[in-house]
Amino acid sequence: MYAYTEYDQQLLNERVAQYRNQTERFLAGKLTDEEFLALRLQNGLYVQRHAPMLRVAIPYGMLNSAQVRVLAEISRDFDKGYAHFSTRQNIQYNWPALELVPDILEKLASVQMHAIQTSGNCIRNVTTDQFAGVATDELEDPRPWCEIIRQWSTFHPEFAYLPRKFKIAVNASESDRAAIKFHDIGVEIVKDAAGQTAFDIWVGGGLGRTPIVAEKVAEALPPKYLLSYLEAVLRVYNRYGRRDNKYKARIKILVKALGVEAFREKVEAEWAHMKDSEMDLPEAEVARMQAFFPAPAYATLADNPAELVEQRAANPGFDAWVKRNCTAHKQAGYMAVTLSLKATAVAPGDVTTEELFAIADLADQYSFGEIRSTHKQNVVLADVRQDQLFELWGKLKELGFATANIGCLTDVICCPGGDFCSLANAKSIPIAEQIQRQFDDLDYLYDLGDIELNISGCMNACGHHHIGNIGILGVDKKGEEYYQVSLGGCSGRDAKVGKIIGPSFFENDIAGVITKIIDVYVEKRIEGESFLSTYERVGMDPFKERVYAA
Amino acid sequence: MPRKIIKDRAIVEDSFTLVSEPGQLPANGDILVDIAILDDLQSELANRDGKVGIKVTGDVEPELLASHLDNLDLIAIEFPVFRDGRGYSLARILRDRLGYRGELRACGDVLRDQLFYMQRCGFNSFEPRDDRCIEDALNGLSDFTVTYQADALEKRPIYQRRP
Ligand code: HEM
Ligand code: SF4
C-alpha cells in the first residue's frame, strides 16, 4: 500500500488546519452559506435530511487495519455507531456535527486519511478494481497508476472549480470491474504493439439524467504522457464545459456536443503544449510507485489443499460460500474473500462500529492487515490462505458477513434514498429489503447465477440503476413513490445502459414484478445462459408482456 | 481613495483606473481597459503616458490576447462568481504557453479561499471582494507549503523535485 512520505503528511496536516479555519470563519458568520458550501463540499461534507453527511476518501478502495480501526472509532465517537460504504469505494458518516468535522479530519490524518475532494466540482477519488494486484485476469497492478493519478489530482490548482464533478477510474483486467466506461475518464491499461504498458483513454461516460457510455479518445498512450494527457482533457473540459445548466455540465455533454473527433482535436491541440515537458513521468517514478505495492509475504502453497476439499464436501453451506464469495487468486493456495454487506434487512453497505473493529482484526489475522472496499458496497480480504477459509467463514458467519450471495440478485447496489437523502424521489433501502425477502432461497439464487440489481432513489443515479442487469429507479408520481424498472444494463466490458420496461410500479408491487421478470428468464434461458444473455437474445417483449399482463 | 489590492504578496494601492466606456479615458495615469472597447481606443492609447491593462473574463480565447501581450502591463481576469473556474485555465495558458510576464490580476468574486490556487495558476495580484478583509485574504496565499503538481510558478511536479 502507498505509505505517506513526510510531505504527504504535511500537506494533510495543513489541510486540516485550513479546514478548521474555514469552519471557524463560517461559524463566526464570516463566510456565507454559499461560500462555505463550495468549501465544505470539496471536503466531502453535505447537509442532508437529518444531519450533515461526511464522505471520507478511500483511495482506490485500499485500507489497512489501523485505518479501519480509526474509521470504527469515528463511527463510535462522532456518529451513531455505524458507517456506510458507497458505490465509489468511499465510506460515509450520516450524523457528524458540522463543528466537529475538523476534529474528525485530524483523527483521519493521523492514519493518512482524509475527505479531500470527495464531493464538489473537482476531481474525485480515483477508483479501480477491488481485486487489483491479485486478480487472475489483469495485465498488471493498476494501483501504482491510481496513486500517481491521486497525487496529480489532489489540490490541483487549475481544476478545483470545474463545471461539475469529475470521476476517474482505472482498469487493468479482462472483465472491467471498475465500470470505467461510466466515468468522466476511464483509464484502461493495455499493452502496446511492443508489449509495453500503455493506456487507452475513454472519456465522457456517466450516469445521472443522461446515461452515456464513454468513447475512446486516445489509444496506447505511452505511460510518460499519462498525466499530461489527463491534464489536457481536464483543461478542455474546464474551459468549454457548460456552466449555465448543472444538468448539462458533465464532460459527457461536451463530448456529445462537439463529437468525439472534435473533442479529441481540442485535447490534442492542448496536449501538444504540455507533452515532452517536466510533466512527463520518469520511469524511476513509476518504479518507485510500484515498489509501494509489493506482493505480500505469501507462503508457498498449492491450490485446493486436502482440508479445503474435505471441508467443502462436508459442508454444503461452506461450499456455496466458497463458490460465490471467494475469487481465484494469482498466488497458488490463496483466494480473495468478499464479505457480503448485503444480508437481508441491513441497508446495503452499512457497517457498525463493532463490525468495523472485527473486520480490522480479521484482516490482521487472515489477510496481511489489508482491506478493500468495492463499488458494489462490499468489503474484500484479498489474500486469504485456502487452508484458512473454513475458519474465516465460521467467524464471518457470526458477524453476519457470510451471506453467500456475491454477484447474485440479492447483492443489490443501493443508494441511501428517501430514508436519508434530501434529493430522493423515493425510498430505496426498503425496496432492496423487499427483494431480498422475496428471494430468500439461496439454492434458487445460485441457480439464477450472476444478476446485477441496482436501485437509485432518484435520477442522480447514485445506485447505478442504469447499469444494473435489472435497474430500479424511484420516481415521484403526484407525491407518491413509484418505481421505474429497466433491463439489460451492464457495467463491465460490454458496457450498456438498460432500457425502461414500461410504466412505473407501485412500491408494494416491486418484489412481484421482479419475480415475474425472473420467471421469464428461467423459462426462456438456454442451458447455462446468464440473465443478461437471455435478455439480449429474447429482447424486452416477453418480459414486458408478463409484467403488465392483467 | 485608491483601492487596496494584494500584489506580489503585499497590500498596496492600485494605480490603475478602470475604463469601461470609450469616452471615459482619463488624460493621464494607469488605465485598465475592458476588452470590449479595446479596439475603439487603440489610436488614443498609443499617444498616452501611463500603463495599460486589459480586463477580460475567463471565457476569452487566449490567442485573441497573444498579439497584445507585449504592450500590456496588466491583464485582469474577472471571476463573475468564484465557482467559475475558467480563469484558472486562462491564467495558466497566458503564463505557461504565451509567456506573459506582466501583472496578472484576479478580480470580481475573489475570496481568500481561492487565492492559493490562483497564485499557483500564475496570478500575482488580487482584488479581494470589497466586503472582505484584505489582511485576512492575504493569509490565504500561505495555506500550504506542499504541492504535487507542476504549475505556473514551479515547472517541476513533485516527482522531479522530491526532497
Ligand atoms: C445522501 C446524500 C447524497 C446526495 C445528496 C447525493 C447527490 C448526488 C447527485 C446530485 C449526483 C448527480 C451528480 C451529477 O449527475 O452530476 C450524484 C451522483 C452520484 N452519487 Fe450521490 N448522493 C448522495 C449519496 C451517495 C451515496 C451514498 C453514494 C454511494 C452509495 C453515491 C454515489 C454516487 C455516484 C456513484 C454518482 C455518480 C453517478 C454518475 O456517474 O453520474 N451518492 N449524487
Ligand atoms: S440517487 Fe438520488 S436519492 Fe439516491 S442518494 Fe443519490 S441523490 Fe439521493
**Alpha-carbon distance A408 to A512, whole Å?**
18
* Domain final residue pick, A68, A86, A109: A109
Contact A169, A128 (CB under 8 A): yes
Is there a domain that residue A323 lies in?
yes
Q: Which of A251-255, A509-513, B48-52 has the least mean pLDDT?
A: B48-52
- Both A437 and A499 in one domain: the answer is yes
Q: What percent of chain A stands above pLDDT 90?
A: 85
Are the beta carbons of B117 and A157 separated by less than 8 Å? yes
Complex confidence, ipTM: 0.96
- Both A203 and A276 in one domain: the answer is yes
- Both A426 and A375 in one domain: the answer is no
Residue A496's domain is classified under what CATH number?
Answer: 3.30.413.10
Per-residue pLDDT tens digits for A222-267: 999 999 999 999 999 999 999 999 999 999 999 999 999 999 999 9
Determine contact: B66 vs chain A, CB below 8 A: no
**Shortest-distance atom of ligand 2 to CA A425:** 3
Is there a domain that residue A443 lies in?
yes
pTM of the entire structure?
0.92
Interface of A with B in 77-106 (CB under 8 A): none
- Both A18 and A102 in one domain: the answer is yes
- Both A268 and A154 in one domain: the answer is yes
Contacts of B144 in chain A (CB under 8 A): 11, 14-15, 18, 155
Q: Which of A303-312, A324-333, A339-348 has the least mean pLDDT?
A: A339-348
- Both A323 and A237 in one domain: the answer is no
Phi and psi torsions of A191, nearest 5°? -110, 135
Q: List the strands of the sheet with A91-93, edge to edge.
A: A45-47, A52-56, A91-93, A82-85, A350-352
* Domain final residue pick, A54, A86, A109: A109
Residue A318's domain is classified under what CATH number?
Answer: 3.90.480.20
- Both A148 and A263 in one domain: the answer is yes
Contact A463, A179 (CB under 8 A): no
Task: Compute, in angstroms, the gap from residue A36 CA to the centroid of ligand 1.
Answer: 20
- Both A422 and A544 in one domain: the answer is yes
Contact A94, A50 (CB under 8 A): yes
Contact A500, A485 (CB under 8 A): yes
Using alpha carbons, list the distances in angstroms from residue A330 to A147, A340, A365, A403.
Answer: 22, 22, 20, 25
Is there a domain that residue A1 lies in?
no
Which residue has its alpha carbon closest to ligand 1 atom 31?
Answer: A462
Is there a domain that residue A295 lies in?
no
- Both A174 and A274 in one domain: the answer is yes
- The CATH architecture annotation of domain B4-161 reads Alpha-Beta Barrel (3.20)
- Both A394 and A427 in one domain: the answer is no
Binning pLDDT at 50, 70 and 90, where does residue B1 land?
A: low
Which residues are within 8 A (CB) of A429 and not within 5 positions of it... i.e. 6 or more apart?
A: A347, A348, A414, A416, A417, A419
- Both A328 and A390 in one domain: the answer is yes
Interface test with B, best of A9, A158, A292 (most B CBs within 10 A): A158
Residue A90 has pLDDT above 80, yes or no: yes
Q: Where are the domains of chain B?
A: 4-161
Per-residue pLDDT tens digits for A53-86: 899 999 999 999 999 999 999 999 999 999 999 8
Is there a domain that residue A169 lies in?
yes
**Alpha-carbon distance B14 to A110, whole Å?**
44
Task: Judge if the beta carbon of residue A86 lies within 6 A of ligand 2.
Answer: no
**CA of B9 to nearest chain A CA: how many angstroms apart?**
18
Number of domains observed in the structure of chain A: 4
> What residue numbers bound the domain in which A266 lies?
142-289
- Both A265 and A174 in one domain: the answer is yes
Is there a domain that residue A131 lies in?
no
